[in-house]
Amino acid sequence: MPEKIQIPQRSWIWLLINLTIPLCGVMVLKWNLFGILYFFWMELIALGVFGLLRILTALGNRPYLELLIPRLGSAVFFAVLYGALLMLVIGYSISGFDLSEHMLSGVKSNFTGIRLGTAFLFASYLLEFSRDYLLLGKFRETHPFSIIIGTFVYTLPLACIILFVLTPYAPKAPEGVGNLFLVLGIILGKTLIEFAIANGRSWLQAK
């Protein structure tokens, strides 16, 4: 058990990039709630992938081989738990609306540029992982258990937005300006939550 649970401190650049990508999708490429829903699915996957990479490289102030077995055990535990959450969120979202009626008929307008946006999303996570975690040496002092907790602190609010906001309202979202303001509100709300997590002092962090 680590002495201190460390919630990852996201940089302003990371937050700005992850705000800019969906904003460009909405304002320039005209994504609606379905486009944002798909983008948030991809962000859940990115959180899981890079959370797993953090676990596998965390040293916890110990030699690499000394923590190897706990690290691998933590990685397996995280992969199973996170995979179950991912299947629950995506499966529930898909079951919440008629794909043939609401998604496939509007693929061109809803998902234009989504692959490029997803590529930028994963690139921002890779940059943050490489620079802030590896190059700055945070992996040396971080325990795998801390990463599991920290990853879920970011994941659960995003999962709640998908389950309780996007899934119920995407099929009946208004068109035009109403849809625009609704989507922008969701994106900004998500960013404010991430900002609060990244820069606030959590009670989970031991003094």
Instruction: Convert the pLDDT of each residue in 46-92 to its tens digit.
Output: 999 999 999 999 988 888 888 889 899 999 999 999 999 999 999 98
Q: What's residue 53's pLDDT?
A: 96
Give the pTM.
0.85
Mean pLDDT of the chain: 82
Instruction: Give the count of domains, the chain.
Output: 1
Q: What's residue 108's pLDDT?
A: 43
Q: What's residue 52's pLDDT?
A: 96
Asked, for residue 22, whether it belongs to a domain, the answer is yes
Residue 171 has pLDDT above 60, yes or no: yes
Asked, for residue 52, whether it belongs to a domain, the answer is yes
Q: What's residue 148's pLDDT?
A: 93
Asked, for residue 134, whether it belongs to a domain, the answer is yes
Residue 3 has pLDDT above 60, yes or no: no
Asked, for residue 143, whether it belongs to a domain, the answer is yes
Across 1-5, 27-31, 148-152, least confident range = 1-5
Asked, for residue 53, whether it belongs to a domain, the answer is yes
> What's the average model confidence in pLDDT over 96-119?
64
Q: What's residue 173's pLDDT?
A: 62
Percent of the chain with pLDDT over 70: 79
Q: What angle separates helix 33-57 from helix 12-27, to the nearest 10 degrees?
A: 160
Asked, for residue 2, whether it belongs to a domain, the answer is no
Residue 104 has pLDDT above 80, yes or no: no
Q: What range does the domain containing 111 cover?
A: 12-199
> What's the average model confidence in pLDDT over 174-179?
60
Asked, for residue 89, whether it belongs to a domain, the answer is yes
Q: What's residue 105's pLDDT?
A: 45
Asked, for residue 37, whether it belongs to a domain, the answer is yes
